[in-house]
Amino acid sequence: MIPSDYLSAALLIAGAVFFLAGTVGLLRFPDVYTRLHALTKADNVGLGLLVAGLALQAESWAVVGKLLLIWLLVLLAGASVAHLVAVAARHRGIKLWKR
Amino acid sequence: MRTVDRRWRLQFTPSDSVIIHLRSGLLRAVLFALMWWVLTDGAVDSWQVGAPVVLSATLASVVLLPPSSCSLTGVVRFVPFFLWRSLCGGVDVARRALHPRLPISPGLFHHRWRLPPGLPRVFMANTVSLLPGTLSAGVDKEYLHIHVLDQTGNFASELPLIEARVAELFGLNLVTDELGGG
């Protein structure tokens, strides 16, 4: 393995940890709003790290661009859908969980 | 139908508007061309299809999403800010999710808009959802409603900063509270 392979591996593992944390958050957080926090933010960072790790292994700049495009589209979709779910939950009168 | 609040209407002369349309049309054409190049792995003969596609995508985008100003220095300042803060957001929520005592105390926060309606507000709402501890949970004419994961956090001081960076990105001046009134 060359140094960039180690860096790739580290980024991919870190990305997977964020996905795991996001899923743990989805299961442990008490209501729809807090769960959305876990999904949007942790998955965004997790995918960002995966994309960075894979980009290091890419054979051409076009592939790097494609990976980046995927990440941007997921960011856009994730943030928009989280917003829509939160709006719908408030419309239905779902109360916030309070400590 | 577009309703424009008088407070936010910018004064353009006709020639300004033509220049803005040309500039943003050209910028979008370059972006679409780049996207085509990425999707086709730079295959040269694909441009027979690609050139008309890029052209019609540019036309469609200018018609559907009227050009807005956009500042290059704003972009250069926004990207590292966003990357760093969204990394912080991920670390923060991961830490809370994995912490045995689940340290969260959620609440709702209402942020009065200082950005003009339209794309800048949509952009701000989406950005807020990806930054630490905040999730946009509704927009109306006056407020951005934000669900915060930890009410004791410093989100209240962070929001004006995010808003300023978004304004910078679109080359806008923020409306001050005095002008906003009511």
Give the mean model confidence (pLDDT) for residues B83-97.
94
pLDDT of residue A99: 79
The closest of B24, B94, B108, B110 to B64, measured between CA atoms, is: B24
Strands B107-112 and B143-148: antiparallel
C-alpha span between B122 and B127 (Å, rounded): 9
Residue A32 structural domain: 3-91
* ipTM confidence: 0.91
Cβ-nearest to A79 among B93, B126, B145: B126
Identify the domain containing residue B132 by its residue range: 72-180
Does the pLDDT value for residue B171 go beyond 90? no
Read off the pLDDT of residues B124-166 as tens digits, 9 standing for 90 and up.
999 999 999 999 999 999 999 999 999 988 888 889 999 999 9
Both structure tokens of B47: 């441009």
| Candidate from B86, B92, B125 with C-beta closest to A44 | B86
CATH number at residue B156: 3.30.70
The identity of residue B71, as a single letter, is: S
Domain count, chain B: 2
Distance from CA of A74 to the nearest CA of B (A): 12
Yes or no, beta carbons of A28 and B107 under 8 Å apart: no
Q: Which residues of A touch B153 (CB under 8 A)?
A: none
Reported as a pLDDT band with limits 50, 70 and 90, residue B1 is very low
B150 touches chain A (CB under 8 A): no
Q: Which residue of B has its CA nearest to A86?
A: B137
Substitution target in B30, B34, B36, B38 with the highest count of A β-carbons within 10 Å is B38
Co-location of B39 and B77 in the same domain: no
pLDDT of B20 above 90: no
In angstroms, rounded to a whole number, what is the distance separating the alpha carbons of residues B128 and B82? 10
Is the domain of B144 the same as that of B161? Answer: yes
Q: pLDDT tens digits, residue range A3-26?
A: 899 999 999 999 999 999 999 999
Are residues B104 and B37 part of one domain?
no
Number of domains forming the structure of chain A: 1
With a CB cutoff of 8 Å and minimum separation 6, the contacts of B79 are none
Please measure the distance between the N-terminal and C-terminal CA atoms of chain B and give it in whole angstroms.
25
| Residue B149 included in any domain | yes
